Structure 1
Amino acid sequence: MRPSKPGLLVGLGVIAAVLTWSGLQIWVSAGHAEPDLVWTTVLTIGLLAVAVFGLGWPVKQWVEGDKGRRIDALRAARTAALAKAASVAGSLLVGGFAGWVVHYVPTLDIAARRSEAVVGAADVVVSALLLVAGLVVERWCRVPPDEDDDQNRMQVS
């Protein structure tokens, strides 16, 4: 599995922001009210970021040489896949909630809109934490090349 590419993650975030913003514009122009943003989303995404870090920590310890506790290879691979999913999901969520906040910017003088924008901004922050958690745990799951492999390559050359 290859590490997440920053350009792809930025592109996904921008696409999500544009789609969210334009979708909200169409929804409102059709006479509908915007769905409410709720604080439980902030809590849920924050807990996901903590879970990704928590699941990646034992793999990091093992990769760095703490071989006292055995780590199953399948668990490490699943952790790497979870980290990749977290980075992609975090990117999409950052973009989506950023599009939502941009939708509220013209009406920030209205108290209800301002409170929705605050919740949206908090969602952007915790989504960015999920993105960072995914990228960091992806990095933790990288296994350095064996020294034996390097020596064998040097001898063959």
Structure 2
Amino acid sequence: MKRTAPMTLVACAALGAATGYIVDLALTNAGRATYAPSIMLPVLLVALGICCLLFAWPIRRAVRDEKAPRVDPFRAVRVAVLAKASSMVGALAGSFALGLVTFVLTRPVSPAVGSMAETIATAVAGAVLVILALVAEHMCTLPKDPDDRESDPSSSGAEPEF
């Protein structure tokens, strides 16, 4: 499994920001109040990031320390996939909140800071989730095996046989 590509996170962030802006635009055009996320959303995003790290810690120990108990490879893959998905969710949720903030700040009437606190906290929590998930994903990777180089015919300079 490959690591999360930066372009994947950039695409998720662009999609989230555009969606957040369009949601607030549509609500305002319909005569309704702008969307404000719950205060529990940033708490849950950070809790998800911490859970990713806690799940990845035994895998890191098993990879780095030979005395540590062995970890089931399927568990390691599940944790890596959880971390990968969490980084995408963090990019989407954080940029969605940034889209909401961008829409409100481009209006002629400036909002009160208190009404923007949850949205700004969601944007920050999304960034924190991306960072924690990428760290957890890194913790689930295996180190390079020195034997891989010897078995690879292209590393010796010889032409591979077809």
Alignment TM class, shorter chain as reference = 0.7 to 0.9
Identify the residue that residue 100 of structure 2 maps to in structure 1: 100
TM-score normalised per structure 1: 0.87
Q: Cα offset for 1:108?
A: 6.9
Amino acid at match of 2:22: S
Question: Per the alignment, in what secondary structure is the counterpart of residue 74 of structure 2?
Answer: helix
Q: Pairwise mapping of residues 58-137 of structure 1 onto structure 2 (< 5 A)? A: 58-105=58-105, 106=107, 109-111=110-112, 114-137=113-136
Q: Cα offset for 1:121?
A: 0.9
Q: Cα offset for 1:156?
A: 9.8
1:156–1:11 CA distance, 2 compared to 1 (3 A): closer
User: Is this contact kept in 1: 2:37–2:118, CA < 8 A?
Assistant: yes
Q: Cα offset for 1:107?
A: 6.4
State the percentage of identical aligned residues.
26
Between stretches 50-59 and 100-109, larger displacement belongs to: 100-109
TM-score normalised per structure 2: 0.85
Between stretches 4-13 and 33-42, larger displacement belongs to: 33-42
Amino acid at match of 1:96: F
User: Is this contact kept in 2: 1:46–1:126, CA < 8 A?
Assistant: yes
The separation in 1 between residues aligned to 2:81 and 2:94, in whole angstroms, is 20
User: Is this contact kept in 2: 1:97–1:121, CA < 8 A?
Assistant: yes
User: Is this contact kept in 2: 1:37–1:116, CA < 8 A?
Assistant: no
Of structures 1 and 2, the larger Rg is shown by: 2
Give unpaired runs (5+ residues) of structure 1.
none
The separation in 1 between residues aligned to 2:32 and 2:9, in whole angstroms, is 31
1:46–1:156 CA distance, 2 compared to 1 (3 A): same
Aligned residues: 155
- 1:23 aligns to 2:23 (yes or no): yes
- CA-based RMSD: 2.1
The separation in 1 between residues aligned to 2:52 and 2:85, in whole angstroms, is 10
Identify the residue that residue 40 of structure 1 maps to in structure 2: 40
Identify the residue that residue 147 of structure 2 maps to in structure 1: 148
The structure carrying a bigger helix percent of its residues is: 1
Question: Cα deviation per residue 1:125-156 (whole Å; 9 max; x = unaligned)?
Answer: 11111111121111111112322333333679
The separation in 2 between residues aligned to 1:108 and 1:72, in whole angstroms, is 56
Q: Cα offset for 1:92?
A: 0.6
Question: Cα deviation per residue 1:89-108 (whole Å; 9 max; x = unaligned)?
Answer: 11111110111111222367
Give unpaired runs (5+ residues) of structure 2.
none
Amino acid at match of 2:48: L
